Amino acid sequence: MDAKEILREDISNFAFRLEAMTIDEVFEAMSLLEKHSEDQVSDRDETLSRITLVEEEIERRFPGQKLAPYRDWKQDQPLLS
């Protein structure tokens, strides 16, 4: 999966798929979208809307923890540094 695949997918399908993803898959999707949003891209608004969906899914799974679990996961990924 890459950011462009996520962005090509219908947003309602992506939201539905997020619910079924493992937490690692959710975090990976967030990482891909974040990286993509940092590039000079014409689809920034679409990217940010997908990031919002992933943030909501993380909050649903980790109530009250904001994005702390994602930040912890990201620190543990040696290739993301």
- 21 phi, psi to nearest 5 deg: -70, 150
What is the pLDDT at residue 2?
86
- 73 phi, psi to nearest 5 deg: -60, -45
Contact of 14 with 3, CB cutoff 8 Å:
no
Reported as a pLDDT band with limits 50, 70 and 90, residue 80 is: low
Contact of 23 with 30, CB cutoff 8 Å:
no
Contact of 65 with 27, CB cutoff 8 Å:
no
Q: Is the pLDDT of residue 54 over 90?
A: yes
- Please tell me whether residue 54 adopts helix, strand or coil conformation: helix
Q: Is the pLDDT of residue 50 over 70?
A: yes
pTM passes above 0.75: yes
Q: State which amino acid sits at residue 73.
A: W
